[in-house]
Amino acid sequence: MEAIKARLKTQGWLARLVMIAAAAAVLVVCFFMPNIVAAVTDAATIDSLVTTESRTINVETKLDLGIPERIALVANRNVETLPINTGRAMDAAQAESKAKAELTAFFTLSAAGQGAAGPFGFAPESSEAEEGGAVFIVNTDDPSVNMVIWEFTLKDSTGNKMKITLDDETGVILKLIYASETAAGPGASTDSAMYDSALRLATLMAAYYDMPIKLADYMYIGELAYYRADLTAGGIEIPMYGVVRPSGFTMNES
């Protein structure tokens, strides 16, 4: 994918004792905690999260992330992630229910002729979560840019699988990876068919996010169609990479 992207696209003893104690505390944090722990500078943005290993971390959170910034964070390779017990806005049951509802909306758009997902035949209403949970994700270049996401692998009654990344705060789908066991996908694996499918998928994303998204580049290799769709927001273009396969697709793959 990187090769495809290349083509397509950080006072006295008392004072000393205090300093020593502070330094020791920093060393303990650095030793036991991942690099995701940010220095808290604004009390209004302090948040506490409990990891799946029952450790509590305090983080500084940038509160004004829009959907484009959330999409970009999920697709960014300069991130660290940490499994946590639950979300800030949803618990596991709520997140799974919301994921199914959003997928239903996503596929309804497709059925209305606005996208490419319909032919893949995934049935959100009959799907069950095989695995997944809440994850804290942070930009390592700017740790105040962070959020909580839910990652689920859903399997429907016919065996089709959908890996979904859902934003905990907004409930919006940020990333999809779909593999069908029963459907033939968008049709014949030809350059023309795959291009049409990539184009429809970009159109579907634009309809789902209600934002300007266009297919910016495309390359067909074997039976795979690599594409880049650009989301334009606030004068900034955010690239969204993905792949269309005969029996599936990825959306916003990092």
Tell me how far apart the alpha carbons of residues 164 and 170 are, in angstroms, rounded to a whole number: 14
Is 6 a member of any domain? no
**Residue 139 and residue 70: Cα distance in Å, rounded?**
11
Per-residue pLDDT of 230-250, as tens digits, reads: 998 877 789 999 998 877 888
The predicted-structure confidence for 125-175, as pLDDT tens digits, reads as follows: 778 888 889 999 999 888 888 999 999 898 888 788 889 999 999 999 999
User: Is residue 16 situated within a structural domain?
Assistant: no
Is 236 within the bounds of a domain? yes
Number of domains in the chain: 1
Answer whether residue 128 is part of any domain: yes
The pLDDT value recorded for residue 12 is 41
Helix/strand/coil for 138: strand
* pTM passes above 0.85: no
- Report the run of H or E that residue 48 belongs to, with start and end: strand 46-50
Give domain status of residue 39, yes or no: no
14-69 residue pLDDT tens: 334 334 444 443 333 334 344 444 333 333 344 666 666 666 766 666 667 899 99
Q: Which domain holds residue 99?
A: 92-251
Q: Does residue 181 or residue 242 have the better pLDDT?
A: 242
Both tokens of 93, joined, read 């049951």
Task: Give the length of the chain.
Answer: 254
Q: 């593999």: which residue's tokens?
A: 179
Q: What is the CA radius of gyration of the chain?
A: 21
In a domain? residue 75? no
pLDDT surpasses 90 at 227? yes
**How far from chain centre, in Å, is Cα 189?**
27
Sign of CA dihedral 93, 95, 96, 100: positive
Of 90-99, 109-118, 152-161, 177-186, which has the strongest mean pLDDT?
90-99
The residue-averaged pLDDT of 77-95 equals 90
Listed in sequence order, the DSSP H helices in the chain are 2-8, 12-32, 67-75, 92-109, 191-209
Strand partners, 151: 133, 165
Which residues make Cβ contacts (< 8 Å) with residue 198, sequence separation at least 6? 116, 215, 218, 225, 227, 242, 244
Q: Residue 210, by phi and psi: left (phi above 0), alpha (psi -120 to 50) or beta?
A: left
The answer to whether residue 162 is domain-embedded is yes
Question: What is the C-alpha separation between 135 and 51, in angstroms, rounded?
Answer: 9
Three-class secondary structure of residue 234 per DSSP: coil
Residue 44 lies in a domain: no
Using CB atoms within 10 A of its CB, is residue 159 exposed (0-12), middle (13-18) or buried (19+)? exposed
